[in-house]
Amino acid sequence: MSTRDPDLISSTLFDRGFRDLESRFDPKAGLVRSPFQPDRHQPHPSIWFAHCLLIRNGDGHAALAEQIISRVLTLQESRKGDPHAGNFRWFLEDTVVTDLNACQFVLEALVHLLIRAPDRLSPETKERIFESMKLAFCEAERLDVHWTYTNIYLLDVQNSILGGQLLKDAVTRDRGERRLTDWAARTKAAGAPHEFNSPTYAAVQINALAAIAQFAEDEAMGKLALEMEQFVWRHVARYWHAPTMQLGGPHSRAYRRDVTGAPGFLKVVLYKLLGDPRLLAKTPY
C-alpha cells in the first residue's frame, strides 16, 4: 500500500541510500567500493557518502566526511600537459583517467554538497573544493559534450549553472545557461529527448532539470528548466505501464537490470513522488 507522507518517503529513501553507502565504505581506502566491482573504489559515491554523513550526523562525523572529500580530490588529474587535466579517475585503482564522464559525476556531487551542507564544511575544505571545481570546469569545456548525449549534457548544464553560481564565475554560469537554452529548443523541436524513454537515464535528466529549477538564481532559467522537466515527465508518462511498474519499450538506452524490474533510478524518483513500495521491490534479476 502506498503512502503519501513526504517526510516518511524521504526518510525511507535516505536511510536506504545511507545504509548502502555505509556498507560499501572502506575505511582503509577512505572511499566507497563500487557496487559492481567491490574490489574497486569510486570518487562520486564517496562524495555522496560524505554528504550523507554531514546531513545525518552533523558535526559528529564532519571530520570523517572531510577526510573522504580530501581523498576524492586526490583522484583528480592535475598534471600539466595531461590531455584530461581536471578530470577524475573513475576508480582509485586506475592510474589515468579512463572514463571522461567522471568529471560531471564528481562535479554533480560537489555542487549538491555545497548547496545543501555548506555550513558543515570547514573553510579550508570548501576552498579545496572550489579549486578542484575550477579545474574540472576547464575539462568540461574542452570535452564540450554534444546535446544528443542527453544525460551527461544536462549534468554539464546543471553543474555549470549551479557551480558557476557557487564560484561566482559568470563565464561558467553563462555557458550553462546557453547550453540549456539550446538543448530546450532542439528537444522541443524533436518532440522527445534524444535519449528517449530510457529507464536508466530519464531520472538523470529529470533530476538535473529539477535542481536547476529549484536553485537557479536567474528566474528565466529556472522557469525554462521547470518547463523542460515537465516535458520529460510527460514523455515518461506516455510509456509508463502502472500494473508492472515498468517503462514500456522501445528504449533508446537501458541496462538489463532496468528492464527486468530492478528498482533503478527512475523508480526511486517515482517512489519519491508516489510512495508505492512496489517501485522499490527486489527482483530475481
Q: Coil, strand or helix: which one is 57?
A: helix
Please spell the DSSP secondary structure of 180-216, one letter per residue. HHHHHHHHHHHTS-SSTT-TTTHHHHHHHHHHHHHH-
Q: Which residues are paired to 247 by β-bridges?
A: 240
Q: Which domains does the chain have, with CATH numbers?
A: 8-143 (1.50.10.20), 144-285 (no CATH)
* DSSP β-bridge partners for residue 194: none
pLDDT score of 1 more than 70: no
Q: Name the grid cell of 248.
A: 514500456
Which pLDDT value is given to residue 258?
A: 87
pLDDT, mean over the chain:
95
* Percent of the chain's residues with pLDDT above 70: 98
pLDDT band at 283 (very low <50, low <70, confident <90, very high): confident
pTM assigned to the model: 0.95
